[in-house]
């Protein structure tokens, strides 16, 4: 304790302020330990609640809805959630795009973020105590860097999860669109066509199959078809799926042929994919400039001009 107070005193140049900062850090550490203990106790010492949760949601692979952490998360939610509604809605939308749709996803995300912001600097601060040769200022800088990592790390990970899931949905969308065209032209209605496509895509594209199955479940539960399709567009966040949903909504509203509309959209989507591929191919020459300049040209100059330079140097040495 005296060592830590001495480190803080060497940085702050004030003994009383160093003691106050040390007390605040200890209080935060005790709060984090108590919070972790509450999480542990709510999980290990309430088996009845866990069994009831298994009875209520027995499906394999179903997303957990919070379980025994729900009361604790509701208690700490006002302290960890941001005050601005815009920021909360934007984060909730990103969590939905990443596949986290349970009601406690937002609270879990900010609880994890808060624990990282508080826990990582403390771990670094107390861990570097055993590293010899480090100045107090370096320890403070490492703790500040750990705090910055705890603040930005969850957002970065969430962004990567969103990109990965969108990429998987986009890769499965052409197959789903072709199957929808085949099913509707074979005489299926919209609801059985979506169900059949969902069943067919379970193995190859499980994420998209899950989204289509959820659309069919909403329709069975009484949700209007247009609203269920709009919910699909909101959950995925893909422009291609949003365009398909808008097309199907207009087709259902005006009574036009769903099969013909899907075929037209499929052709347009293929043209769009071809244009995107041509655009990517056109940028290859520009992207190849940097590896050629940095890797190929130096080796080429060494092979082509190197012997002449060596001969020229030998010639000057002979003089």
As a whole number, the mean pLDDT across the chain is: 78
Spatial distance between the Cα atoms of 177 and 181, rounded to a whole number of angstroms = 6
Measured torsion, CA atoms of residues 143, 148, 152, 154, in degrees rounded to the nearest 10:
20
Spell out the residues 6+ positions from residue 227 whose beta carbon is closer than 8 angstroms to its own: 218
Spatial distance between the Cα atoms of 195 and 180, rounded to a whole number of angstroms = 10
Q: What is the mean pLDDT of residues 94-123?
A: 84
Measured torsion, CA atoms of residues 76, 78, 84, 88, in degrees rounded to the nearest 10:
40
Structure letter (DSSP) for residue 98:
T
Q: What is the mean pLDDT of residues 266-292?
A: 83
pLDDT greater than 60 at residue 58? no
pLDDT tens per residue, range 154-172? 899 999 999 999 888 888 8
Q: Please, which pLDDT band fits residue 76 given cuts at 50, 70 and 90?
A: low
The reported pLDDT for the residue numbered 61 is: 38
Closest CA to 213 of 258, 176, 158: 176
pLDDT greater than 60 at residue 96? yes
Spatial distance between the Cα atoms of 235 and 212, rounded to a whole number of angstroms = 11
Q: In the numeric block, which tokens belong to residue 179?
A: 């199957």
Spatial distance between the Cα atoms of 75 and 73, rounded to a whole number of angstroms = 5
Quick one: 197 exposed, middle or buried, by C-beta within 10 A (0-12, 13-18, 19+)?
Answer: buried
- Within 57-200, residue ranges assigned H as helices are 70-80, 85-97, 105-127, 136-185, 190-200
pLDDT tens per residue, range 134-153? 777 787 888 888 888 888 98
* Cα 30 to chain centroid, rounded: 31
pLDDT tens per residue, range 183-236? 888 888 888 888 898 888 888 888 888 888 888 888 888 888 888 888 888 888
The reported pLDDT for the residue numbered 62 is: 41
């Amino acid at each position: 304790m005296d060592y830590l107070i001495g480190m803080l005193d060497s940085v702050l140049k004030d003994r009383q302020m160093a003691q106050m900062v040390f007390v605040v850090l200890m209080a935060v550490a005790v709060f984090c330990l108590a919070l972790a203990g509450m999480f542990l106790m709510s999980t290990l010492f309430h088996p009845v609640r866990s069994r009831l949760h298994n009875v209520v949601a027995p499906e394999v692979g179903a997303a957990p809805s919070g379980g025994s952490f729900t009361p604790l998360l509701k208690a700490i939610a006002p302290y960890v959630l941001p005050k601005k509604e815009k920021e909360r809605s934007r984060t909730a939308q990103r969590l939905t795009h990443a596949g986290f749709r349970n009601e406690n996803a937002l609270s879990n995300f900010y609880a994890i973020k808060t624990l990282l912001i508080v826990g990582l600097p403390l771990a670094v601060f107390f861990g570097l105590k055993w590293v010899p040769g480090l100045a107090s200022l370096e320890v403070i800088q490492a703790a500040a860097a750990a705090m910055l990592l705890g603040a930005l790390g969850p957002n970065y990970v969430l962004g990567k999860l969103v990109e990965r899931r969108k990429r998987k949905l986009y890769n499965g969308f052409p197959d789903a669109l072709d199957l929808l065209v085949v099913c509707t032209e074979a005489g299926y209605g919209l609801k059985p066509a979506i169900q059949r496509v969902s069943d067919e895509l379970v193995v190859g594209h499980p994420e998209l199959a899950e989204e289509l199955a959820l659309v069919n479940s909403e329709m069975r539960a009484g949700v209007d078809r247009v609203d269920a399709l709009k919910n699909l567009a909101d959950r995925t966040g893909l422009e291609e799926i949003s365009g398909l949903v808008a097309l199907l909504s207009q087709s259902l509203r005006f009574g036009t042929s769903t099969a013909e509309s899907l075929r037209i959209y499929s052709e347009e989507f293929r043209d769009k994919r071809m244009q995107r591929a041509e655009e990517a191919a056109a940028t290859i020459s520009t992207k190849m400039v940097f590896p050629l300049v940095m890797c190929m040209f130096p080796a080429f100059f060494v092979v082509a001009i190197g012997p002449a330079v060596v001969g020229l140097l030998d010639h000057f040495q002979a003089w």
